[in-house]
Amino acid sequence: MANIALKNLTYTYPEAQAPTLNHVQLTFKAHQFTLLTGPSGTGKSTLLKLMTGLLNLPSDQGTISYDGQPLSQIDPTMRAGQVALMFQNPNQQFAMDTVENELIFALENRRVQPDKIAEKITTALAFVEISNLRSRELNQLSGGEKQKVALAVIVAMDSDVILLDEPFASVDPAARTSLLKRLVQLRDDAGKTIILADHDLTDYATIVDQVVRITADRQLTTMPTADWPNLFAAFAKTNHSDQLWPLPTEPQTPLFRFNQLGLKQGQHELLRTTDLMLLQHHNTLITGPNGSGKSTLFESLVRLTTYDGQITYLNNDIKTLRRKRYARQVALLFQDAETQFLNITVAEELAQSKKYAYGNYFTSTRIALAMTQLNLTGHEDQVIYTLSEGQKKKLQILLMLIMQSPVLLMDEPLKGLDLKSVRALVSLLKSTIAVTKQTLIIISHQLTGLTPLIDYHLRFDHQQLTYREAIE
């Protein structure tokens, strides 16, 4: 098992004006669980990719060593045994069609004996508690289920060092707690070294060995344990577990009405026939376990998938509405920000959203102010795909707000965002909808900072969709 030494590490992306990491000096000790924090876009993902060799570190820009051996001198075919990385976006990591085939692919690349592969797959899936997903197609899984599969791949590879980049961004709270216990078990029982980058700091206070922060000058610093309480205080579960919302009362204006609505994925029933209303000019939060059907519900509301029963929008059956007109009324913010972009640069995306906006609230001045509020100023000429995942998410949301659709369905809008960004985003949403009167319907597992925006809460679980006062 390896100590990992970063010595005078500097990294600058091509054509960037300043280094992403600047003369970093730090050693990660073997058998420890390290939490890596820092604002969106400060280089956490870059650091993890450098530590696996996925980004090439110029020879004159410092070294990364495993037990004294420079990473550059470790044969690429042997690196997977030394260090493995779980990407922030699991879609960028998968190469095969099914869960089982993805694990087979990873183990074959590790040169595992063929007669041992099936057992390793069974063990890894059971460890992450997703044995039921073994035969499923990856493109039919929810975002949280994909993250669990990616973790199972890492477990199966059995590398000495495990690097995880926002591994729980789309995972429900119960599964998150369970998976964290599994990581602790890998450290304590298997002697793994774990370095995990996260913005949602819930549950880490009692399990990590150290907290490392990326500073404003792009270096790393180990946070004294005496400072941990202040860091973790905002993420205490008590901050939102006692939140209560009212139950809807009649009469109120229905935005959507479900009449005997049923949802399926193949032969798997997601939602039993349900009668329900979603109310206009009220923001509704939808929670529930991974794979329960939340994203499928959103796809039904925008006519991207089939469903049983009837959905009406402002008392009109959505199947009778012209697609183009309806798409201007009800917009969907995808869970994966990259799937929303159509252009190359940030400025081009902003110009397109403004051109096709439903209303004129977002003037050039307001867009510039929003860019500043979201800490995106200065990125206008940047290629979108070179932004951090958090920066992509903030841009994606701003683009959809500029479009000013009367209804915005938001699937995991806080994914990859630090707490400061969450608060800036919620502030922008509140000030915008106060004027535009948009209705927000939000799926989110991360609740810290979000609850002030919410009027009603729906729980999607056990094939039922019901209004609840409290978070479970």
Work out whether strand 21-28 and strand 193-197 pair parallel, antiparallel, or are unpaired.
unpaired
Confidence of residue 467 (pLDDT cuts 50, 70, 90): very high
pLDDT mean over 51-68: 90
Q: Is 338 helix (H, G, I), strand (E, B) or coil?
A: helix
H/E stretch holding 194 reads strand 193-197
User: How much is the pLDDT for 75?
Assistant: 86
Beta carbons of 427 and 272 less than 8 angstroms apart: no
* Parallel/antiparallel/unpaired status of strands 456-461 and 284-287: parallel
Residue 175: pLDDT band with limits 50, 70, 90? confident
CA-based torsion, 99, 105, 107, 113: positive or negative? positive
Whether the predicted pLDDT of 254 surpasses 60: yes
Average pLDDT of the chain, as a whole number: 92
For residue 238, pLDDT beyond 60? no
Exposure of 370 in the CB half-sphere (CA atoms within 13 A):
25
**Which pLDDT does position 118 carry in this prediction?**
96
User: Is the pLDDT at 156 greater than 70, yes or no?
Assistant: yes
Per cent of the chain over pLDDT 70 is 98
Of 441 and 178, the structure prediction assigns the larger pLDDT to 441
Tell me what pLDDT residue 239 has.
Answer: 53
pTM: 0.88
User: Binning pLDDT at 50, 70 and 90, where does residue 59 land?
Assistant: confident
* Whole-number pLDDT of residue 170: 82
Residues in the chain: 472
Model confidence pLDDT, tens digit, residues 10-56: 998 887 778 889 999 999 999 999 999 988 888 899 999 999 999 98
What is the pLDDT, as a whole number, of residue 416?
84
pLDDT, residue 240, reads 55
| 42-to-6, 36, 37, 218, 235 alpha-carbon distances in Å | 17, 11, 9, 7, 21
Q: For 69-109, how does the pLDDT look when each residue is reduced to its tens digit (9 = 90+)?
A: 999 898 887 888 889 999 888 888 899 999 999 999 999 98
How far apart CA 428 and CA 124 sit, in angstroms, is: 42
How far apart, in whole angstroms, are the C-alpha atoms of residue 409 and residue 105?
36
Confidence of residue 183 (pLDDT cuts 50, 70, 90): very high
